[in-house]
Chains A and B, each alone.
Chain A
Amino acid sequence: MKILGPGGTAVVDGALAGEIRRRCGENVYLCVQCRTCAAGCPTRAFMDGSPAELLRYAQLGLADSCLQGNTIWYCASCQTCTTRCPQGIDIARAIDALRILAQERTDLEVDTRGQRTLNRLWMTMLKYTGRAYELGLVGLLNLLTGRPFKDFGLGMQMILRGKIALFPSVRRPLTMMRLFKNAQEPPP
């Protein structure tokens, strides 16, 4: 553990907390570990840890413990923890910052539950076409995650009822490409 240094003195590494603060303005040191977030989290049962544990790891600077498990990827962004936190921490926003950090770390083996692949596909699609094209997204996602027939029957039923657009629609592609390029420039 990184927490105990030589002679049993506590070593707390503030780098991760600082990074979260810089990226989204949230102060993880406000967390008093009351676990209201964990108690109300609808996807807690699927997570390796819990939102409260993420905040504790972040307070202690244990970046790998925060980023490595599936916990951040099972956050549904339902905003329950953010709404109920008695310390007013926007926990869902802090978890978004952690997910962005995890996606930037190429040295870490992270279990993103396919979300990283979906995020990349979706954002690339937006950059060139301006809109999400569900059939293309699902098809590519299933191929890239090795489950080509996931929800195949369900998809067919929806297509038969005219609930899935068969062709992509393209809107403002030049504006979108320019917007994505502009967004990559670092803030002054």
Chain B
Amino acid sequence: MKMGYYPGCSLHSTGIEYGLSLARVAEALGLELEEVRRWVCCGSSPAHQSDETLSIALPALNLAILREENQLDEVCVPCASCFSRLKFAQARMEDEAVRKRIERILERPWPAGVRVLHALEVVTQRIGRDAVRARVKRPLKGLKVACYYGCLMTRPPKVTGQADPENPLAMESVMETIGAEPADWNLKTACCGASFALTDPAVVLELTRRILEDAAAAGAEVVAVGCPLCHANLDTRQEGINERFGTSFRMPVFYFTELMGLAFGLDAADLGLPRHLTDAEGFLRERGLL
């Protein structure tokens, strides 16, 4: 199976492990991901906070490139923020006046009917649990995982198409398939404060503390995420949280693709694990999973 791939800026930088692990896992599953040719940034929060037109035009340009230059009609998007911006653009383009204006700005036709899928949706909807199960070599037996979705993988449901935005279960199903044990917890769709990561870290510290606390209270040993911004906040801020709140978090935060790769028996370094700020490999060794 072949589809387009829109990594977004974070996967070339803070979320590099996500890109590495997704590539390995896709390869193992026989999924060919072709990068959108010379893609540009989706505009992220700064676009929708400052210019409605550009917030549609930038994602639209990438989808137009996908159709025209890659000649593909389906795209895998790992970053929840990019995913959200691409899906929002599709929703806005249903308005004919908007579509005409954006087409004039892009000087390209709008590619109606492109399928935009988050990487988790690619796994659950296009690859399927059976194909995943068939690749598992080292099941993550007994690993208690808090599956964290954050905001934009599921919300708003009118845009994402999620059936249950308050209690999504897709990541749990993948974790069960690879032998892990999903935790039953409260804050799986709470916000980590990603849009304040650069401007006001105090917000991030407070919101991520709540998330980690709830995950720990539910007995989770690790958190699994599907967004580079969630990962940056939960993985890199634990020292700051401990300093500010007197806590002692040392909870590894994995991309769901990293956990899949581990269960497939892939090499931890190839999956990007040594790059985590909160030690992941030491924990896995202690647990006998590495």
Listed in ascending order, the chain A residues whose CB lies under 8 Å from chain B are 23-24, 42-43, 45-46, 74, 76-80, 82-83, 90, 92, 96-97, 99-100, 103, 113-116, 118-120, 122-123, 126, 130-134, 137-138, 141, 145, 150-151, 154, 157-158, 161-165, 169, 171-172, 175-176, 178-180, 182-183, 187
**Do B46 and A118 touch across chains, with their CB atoms under 8 A apart?**
yes
A123-B46, A158-B14 as given contacts; A74 in contact with B203, CB under 8 Å: yes
> Is B130 an interface position by the 8 A CB rule?
no
Interface centre among A78, A103, A115, A118, by most chain B C-beta atoms within 10 angstroms, is A78
- Docked pose: A125 CA to B47 CA in angstroms: 12
**Do B274 and A126 touch across chains, with their CB atoms under 8 A apart?**
no
Contacts of A133 in B (CB 8 A): 9
- Number of chain B residues close to chain A: CB under 8 A: 58
Contacts of B157 in A (CB 8 A): 83
Question: Contacting B151 at CB < 8 Å: which of A74, A78, A96?
Answer: A78
- Docked pose: A179 CA to B105 CA in angstroms: 6
**Do B9 and A132 touch across chains, with their CB atoms under 8 A apart?**
yes
Q: Which residue of A lies closest to B197 (CB)?
A: A151
Q: Which residue of A lies closest to B187 (CB)?
A: A42
Taking CB atoms and an 8 Å cut-off, the chain B residues in 123-139 that contact chain A are none
A103-B50, A179-B61 as given contacts; A82 in contact with B155, CB under 8 Å: yes
Taking CB atoms and an 8 Å cut-off, the chain B residues in 141-191 that contact chain A are 151-152, 155-157, 165-166, 190-191
Contacts of A180 in B (CB 8 A): 54
> Is B199 an interface position by the 8 A CB rule?
yes
**Do B203 and A171 touch across chains, with their CB atoms under 8 A apart?**
no
A83-B155, A131-B9 as given contacts; A161 in contact with B105, CB under 8 Å: no
**Do B201 and A151 touch across chains, with their CB atoms under 8 A apart?**
yes
**Do A169 and B198 touch across chains, with their CB atoms under 8 A apart?**
no
A23-B52, A154-B236, A179-B57 as given contacts; A114 in contact with B199, CB under 8 Å: yes
Contacts of B107 in A (CB 8 A): 178, 182
> Is B40 an interface position by the 8 A CB rule?
yes
Question: Contacting A137 at CB < 8 Å: which of B104, B198, B277?
Answer: B198
Q: Which residue of A lies closest to B200 (CB)?
A: A113
Contacts of A114 in B (CB 8 A): 198-200
> Is B106 an interface position by the 8 A CB rule?
yes
A82-B156, A99-B50, A180-B54 as given contacts; A163 in contact with B195, CB under 8 Å: no
> Is B101 an interface position by the 8 A CB rule?
yes
- Docked pose: A105 CA to B131 CA in angstroms: 55
A74-B203, A183-B54 as given contacts; A79 in contact with B155, CB under 8 Å: yes
Contacts of B33 in A (CB 8 A): none
B189-233 to A contact mask, C-beta < 8 Å, 1/0:
011011110111101001100000000000000000000000000
- Docked pose: A116 CA to B207 CA in angstroms: 22
Contacts of A130 in B (CB 8 A): 38, 40-41
Contacts of A23 in B (CB 8 A): 52
Question: Contacting A134 at CB < 8 Å: which of B13, B49, B201, B275?
Answer: B13
Contacts of A120 in B (CB 8 A): 50
Closest approach, in angstroms, between the C-beta of A71 and any C-beta of chain B?
13
Taking CB atoms and an 8 Å cut-off, the chain B residues in 40-87 that contact chain A are 40-41, 43-54, 57-58, 61
List 26 A-B residue pairs with CB atoms under 8 Å apart, sorted by A's residue number: A42-B191, A42-B193, A43-B193, A46-B203, A76-B203, A77-B45, A78-B151, A78-B191, A80-B151, A82-B156, A83-B165, A92-B156, A100-B49, A103-B50, A118-B46, A122-B44, A122-B46, A122-B47, A131-B9, A132-B41, A141-B199, A154-B237, A157-B236, A172-B38, A176-B40, A183-B53
